[in-house]
Structure 1
Amino acid sequence: MSAAEEAIDAVDAIAVELYALPPEQFTAARNARAAGDRELSGRVKALRKPTVAAWAVNLLAREGQLRDALELAAALREAQDDLDSAELARLSRRRRALVSALATQAVQLAHDRGVTVSGAARDDIQKTVNAAVMDAAAAAAVMSARLVRPLEASGFDAVDVTDAVGGSLPGLPDTPAPTRDDLAERRARKAAEREAREAERAAGEAGRELDKIEALLAKTRERSGLLRERIEDVRADLARLEAEEAKAARETERLDEEFGAAASRARAATKRADAARAAVSAD
């Protein structure tokens, strides 16, 4: 490493320390540090005081709170490469929620250090985090933890990171652009994943439908069994009643015969009584 590169690294390291301080302490600390190091004095003195929004975003970077945002950025780039509109829509919703949550967290981190973040500064924090998700250069600037001004992504244009970082501007990670074969393979994998998810969803629905029908079948079988038992009880009652009715019919027939005989005897007795009374009256 050359002397110039060592000097750049040293200034960057000093910048990270200075930007960890609350903004109102920055200027005095920077001047004191510049006075104590003659070789780097000019470069250290050139470090600019960060805005409250930039300082709060630096807090997020130092606290390691931007990992989810960077992972989301990679997923968004992959979805864009794959032309996956459904995945882009889902990731965009997640991006908005995550950016808002991180802005809230940055405001809380600042508050914990005794710094109040205004509404305008909170908006700048949110725009900066969003820019880091949308643009690789902005992400590199934010992750340096040496941001001095807020960033903003506008449309499809690259985010302007000029003079946005104290010290040297961090380079972009060395990630080769995907080849046509890579994209084709990725899209095929995405299509297979979507097909698998759809198959799992269909299988889940079929399983739930099967469980529903099985439950209904069990209830119907139970009701059928109860009705069968009731029918058997009714049949037994009917057989008993039919037997009792036959017995009553036979008894009725017997009593009818006895009634007829008794009636005949009563008529004969009445005739004899009438004759006897007549004979007595004649005498």
Structure 2
Amino acid sequence: MSDDAARLDEAAAELLALPPARFTAARNERAAAAGGALGRGIAKLRKPTVAAWAVNLLVVDGQLGEAVELSRALHEAQDDLDAAELARLGRQRRQLVAALARRAADLAAEAGTPLSAAVTDAVEKTVNAAVVDATVAAVVLTGRLVAAIDLADLDASALGAAVAGSVPAAAPAPAPPDDLAARRARKAAERAVREAERAQADAEREKAAADKRLATARERADRLRERVDGLRADLRRAEAEATEAEGTVAEHEKTQRDAAVAARDAARARERAEAARDAGADA
């Protein structure tokens, strides 16, 4: 590899670890500063997808490289494992891939770009491809991805287009591990699985707590709704009683007015009678 190619790969790895929103300006500034053929090569670098950028962060973080080495060590040991053990290792691999995808999402959020569910799924597929395929692992571990990788759609041209700069060959398979290396690999695998299991347990506990809070909130809402319904029924009854009472008041007011008129008429009649009596007495 020429010096310019190596320098282009180095620049690409640095630029592609930046948040996508900063990539274009940083690339153009780097290209202008480099000048010449290297500058032209940097200027042609494509902006990464958010999923590819998140995987690059995971490579910089170092955990993806450890996972790939672990996967290789476990692959070497498969010939001596029974079906039950292979199934267990398969579950461990899936848990490890999921844990790494969550770590990538955490790193992206810390960098100010939270991942959507669709992007997180693309990250997980890319991590899985790197763990199970040595050729993909070599490309992903450059930290120069510009596009996510899905084993279901993988071909040579797609793999080359997914990486900026030079396309590495598949890393050679590791030498058969000695007992100490095998034990270390096993412990690393068990540690990764425990971490994944703890993360799963934490998520399940949080879900259970959320379910409990939701049930409590629903129960309180039901009680309040029943109370509101009862108050509305009381209000309707009170309004009906108030209407009836107002009718009674109107009746009593009419009776009172009639009585007042009758009393007034009676008083006038009495006055006329008294006047007539007094007039008769004077005669």
Same fold (TM > 0.5) = yes
State which drifts further: 150-159 or 87-96.
Answer: 150-159
For residue 152 of structure 2, give the secondary structure of its aligned residue in structure 1.
coil
Q: Is 1:114 paired with 2:125?
A: no
- Deviation of the 1:103 alpha carbon: 0.7
Which residues of structure 2 form unaligned runs of 5+?
177-283
Query: Residue 15 of structure 1 aligns with which residue?
Result: 12
1:78-117 equivalences in 2 (<5 Å): 78-80=76-78, 84-117=82-115
Q: How does the TM-score come out when normalised to structure 2?
A: 0.57
- Deviation of the 1:71 alpha carbon: 3.0
Specify whether residues 61 and 156 from structure 1 end up closer, same or farther in structure 2 by C-alpha distance, changes over 3 A only. Answer: closer
CA offsets, 1:209-241, max 9 Å, x none? xxxxxxxxxxxxxxxxxxxxxxxxxxxxxxxxx
Higher helix share: 2
Following the alignment from structure 2 to structure 1, what is the Cα–Cα distance between the partners of residues 67 and 13? 21
Specify whether residues 80 and 20 from structure 1 end up closer, same or farther in structure 2 by C-alpha distance, changes over 3 A only. Answer: same
Larger radius of gyration: 1
CA contact (8 A) 2:122 2:148 kept: yes
- Deviation of the 1:79 alpha carbon: 4.4
Alignment RMSD: 2.9
Structure 1 segments of 4+ aligned residues over 4 angstroms from their partners: 79-84, 155-160
CA contact (8 A) 2:31 2:43 kept: yes
Amino acid of the structure 2 residue aligned with 1:91: L
CA offsets, 1:42-94, max 9 Å, x none? 21111111111111111111011114421332134224555753332121100
CA contact (8 A) 2:135 2:171 kept: no
Sequence identity of aligned pairs in percent? 53
- Deviation of the 1:116 alpha carbon: 1.6
Query: Residue 173 of structure 1 aligns with which residue?
Result: 171
- Deviation of the 1:38 alpha carbon: 1.9
Following the alignment from structure 2 to structure 1, what is the Cα–Cα distance between the partners of residues 32 and 61? 29
Following the alignment from structure 2 to structure 1, what is the Cα–Cα distance between the partners of residues 155 and 48? 25
Query: Residue 28 of structure 2 aligns with which residue?
Result: 31
Specify whether residues 170 and 134 from structure 1 end up closer, same or farther in structure 2 by C-alpha distance, changes over 3 A only. Answer: same
- Deviation of the 1:19 alpha carbon: 1.1
For residue 167 of structure 1, give the secondary structure of its aligned residue in structure 2.
coil
Matched residues, number? 178
Following the alignment from structure 1 to structure 2, what is the Cα–Cα distance between the partners of residues 91 and 7? 42
Following the alignment from structure 1 to structure 2, what is the Cα–Cα distance between the partners of residues 158 and 76? 26
CA contact (8 A) 1:79 1:85 kept: no
CA contact (8 A) 2:16 2:48 kept: yes
Which residues of structure 1 form unaligned runs of 5+?
179-283
For residue 149 of structure 1, give the secondary structure of its aligned residue in structure 2.
coil
Amino acid of the structure 1 residue aligned with 2:122: D
Following the alignment from structure 2 to structure 1, what is the Cα–Cα distance between the partners of residues 34 and 56? 25
Following the alignment from structure 2 to structure 1, what is the Cα–Cα distance between the partners of residues 107 and 48? 16
Query: Residue 237 of structure 2 aligns with which residue?
Result: none
Amino acid of the structure 2 residue aligned with 1:113: A
Q: Is 1:148 paired with 2:146?
A: yes
Query: Residue 57 of structure 1 aligns with which residue?
Result: 55
Specify whether residues 120 and 108 from structure 1 end up closer, same or farther in structure 2 by C-alpha distance, changes over 3 A only. Answer: same
Amino acid of the structure 2 residue aligned with 1:17: E
CA offsets, 1:15-44, max 9 Å, x none? 111112100110111111111222212211
Specify whether residues 108 and 94 from structure 1 end up closer, same or farther in structure 2 by C-alpha distance, changes over 3 A only. Answer: same
1:151-166 equivalences in 2 (<5 Å): 151-154=149-152, 160-166=158-164
Query: Residue 230 of structure 2 aligns with which residue?
Result: none
CA contact (8 A) 1:147 1:165 kept: yes
1:1-283 equivalences in 2 (<5 Å): 5-39=2-36, 40-80=38-78, 84-154=82-152, 160-175=158-173
Following the alignment from structure 1 to structure 2, what is the Cα–Cα distance between the partners of residues 171 and 66? 18
CA offsets, 1:226-259, max 9 Å, x none? xxxxxxxxxxxxxxxxxxxxxxxxxxxxxxxxxx
- Deviation of the 1:132 alpha carbon: 0.5
CA contact (8 A) 2:136 2:170 kept: no
Specify whether residues 121 and 82 from structure 1 end up closer, same or farther in structure 2 by C-alpha distance, changes over 3 A only. Answer: same
